[in-house]
Amino acid sequence: MPGKLKKMIGLVILVYAICGVSCVGVINTIQGEDKLESTR
Amino acid sequence: MSELRRGGAKKVGAGQTRLLPRSRAFLLFLLPMPMLLLACVNAFSSAVSALGYAVGFAASMIAATLVRKGLDIEYEANRRKIVRRSSSIPYKLLGAAVLGAGIFAGARFGAEIAFINSVLLGLGAAIGSVMVYGTDPSRSAPDMPAIGVTSEEVLEILNEADEKILAIEAARSRIHNVELKDRLSKIIIGVREITDIVEDDPRDLRRARKFLKVYLEGAQRVTEGYADTHSYGDTGELDSNFRSVLTTIETVIGEQKQKLLENNLTELDVQIEVLQLQLEKEGV
């Protein structure tokens, strides 16, 4: 695999993994607040 | 000034230099930032989640620092023609492992993602880090001809010489006399030629060691001293003394270069003679 392609794929995986956690966290936090609102 | 720059520069052709691209792993510091925010937001609603994000963020920052350290070591190893024995700690791999663990903690306990998916995300982050930033350079001892000094010693002397050159450059920029500035530029170029000769063939270090250690330090001290004091007022005598010192330094540099080049020629002469004798004796 050429070095640049390997780097690009690695970058996509890295960004997906780190940002994925943050995105799910943001969604969870919003949903949690919505649930709290509806309970009230 | 640009032609005098050395730090991080690599020779690519006759007289040409370019700066090596230096990756500083900014992405690893930047991407986990939302986790810090999420840790703060969740601190009031879910302590476990907040802790998970905090651990994930802290581990990611530690990982980024480790990867950066690994990149710095690799950069330093690649900068010179002589290969340095690399660090015994695999910083980049360690950083990737810590990042993987941090992302797992953030995913599993912070974002409450299923265990297997969290493991996959952690693995993805670790593998991605290795793919982007690479692995650590080889730890084996570099090849070095038997010259009585190790590559570490050669690199240490060359790095010290570089520091002295940079100090002379800094002092030069504080001097306003154009003639003296030009002479100092030529001196710096001459010294760099000598360090390049030593870098190309470390066997020359034996002959250039005194110059690089003692004379260069003297030149640095004198130049800095002149740069510090010449602006205080009437410096007629100081100027003439400094000029005579510069002349001496120029002469020493010229002699040193000549000595190194002559030695290379002598070595070549000896090699030719040996080959000639061998051919005459053994024939084809």
Mean pLDDT of B95-114: 93
Q: How far apart are CA A5 and CA B8, in angstroms?
A: 26
Note whether A14 contacts B56, CB cutoff 8 Å.
Answer: no
Q: In A, which residues are within 8 Å of B61 by CB distance? A: none
Mean pLDDT of B17-37: 77
Per-residue pLDDT, B129: 93
Non-local CB neighbours of B9 within 8 Å, separated by 6+ positions = B17, B18, B19, B20
B9 pLDDT tier (thresholds 50, 70, 90): very low
B143 pLDDT tier (thresholds 50, 70, 90): low
Q: Give, to the nearest 10 degrees, the angle between helix B216-229 and helix B178-200.
A: 160
Nearest CA in chain B to A25: B111
Nearest CA in chain B to A29: B42
A/B interface, count of CB pairs below 8 Å: 87
B211 pLDDT tier (thresholds 50, 70, 90): confident
Mean pLDDT score of chain B, rounded to an integer?
80
- What one-character-per-residue DSSP string does chain A give? --HHHHHHHHHHHHHHHHHHHHHHHHHHHHHHHHHHHHH-
Note whether B125 contacts A12, CB cutoff 8 Å.
Answer: no
- Per-10-residue mean pLDDT of chain A, 40 residues long, equals 85 93 89 68
Nearest CA in chain B to A6: B131
Name the least confident of B17-21, B123-127, B266-270. B17-21
Q: How far apart are CA B111 and CA B33, in angstroms?
A: 15
Per-residue pLDDT, B273: 75
Confidence check: pLDDT of B17 > 50: no
Confidence check: pLDDT of B135 > 90: no
Name the least confident of B74-88, B146-160, B250-264. B74-88
Confidence check: pLDDT of B33 > 60: yes
Mean pLDDT of B193-219: 83
Note whether B106 contacts A16, CB cutoff 8 Å.
Answer: no
Confidence check: pLDDT of B198 > 70: yes
B54 pLDDT tier (thresholds 50, 70, 90): very high
Per-residue pLDDT, B123: 95
pTM: 0.62
Confidence check: pLDDT of B280 > 80: no
Note whether B34 contacts A26, CB cutoff 8 Å.
Answer: yes
Per-residue pLDDT, B210: 82
- Dihedral of CA B49/B50/B55/B57: which sign? positive
In 3D, which of B163, B158, B3 has the Cα closest to residue B83? Answer: B158
Which of B27, B49, B121 faces A20 most closely, judged by CB atoms?
Answer: B121
> Rounded to a whole number, what is the distance in Å from the CA of A27 to chain B's nearest CA?
9
- What one-character-per-residue DSSP string does chain B give? -GGG--TTEEEEETTEEEEPP----HHHHHTTHHHHHHHHHHTTT-HHHHHHHHHHHHHHHHHHHHHHHHHHHHHHHHHSSSPPPPPSS-HHHHHHHHHHHHHHHIIIIIS---HHHHHHHHHHHHHHHHHHH-PPPP-SPPP--SSSS-HHHHHHHHHHHHHHHHHHHHHHHT---HHHHHHHHHHHHHHHHHHHHHHH-GGGHHHHHHIIIIIHHHHHHHHHHHHHHGGGS--HHHHHHHHHHHHHHHHHHHHHHHHHHHHHHHHHHHHHHHHHHHHHHH--
Name the least confident of A8-17, B60-69, B91-100, B232-241. B232-241
Note whether B41 contacts A29, CB cutoff 8 Å.
Answer: yes
Q: Do B207 and B263 contact (CB within 8 A), yes or no? A: yes
Note whether B127 contacts A10, CB cutoff 8 Å.
Answer: yes
Per-residue pLDDT, B101: 96
Nearest CA in chain A to B25: A11
Q: In A, which residues are within 8 Å of B41 by CB distance? A: 29
Confidence check: pLDDT of B19 > 60: no
Mean pLDDT of B11-31: 62
Rounded to two decimals, the ipTM of the complex is 0.86
Residue of A5, A14, A24 to mutate when probing chain B, most B C-beta within 10 A:
A14
Q: How far apart are CA B52 and CA B73, in angstroms?
A: 32
Confidence check: pLDDT of B100 > 90: yes
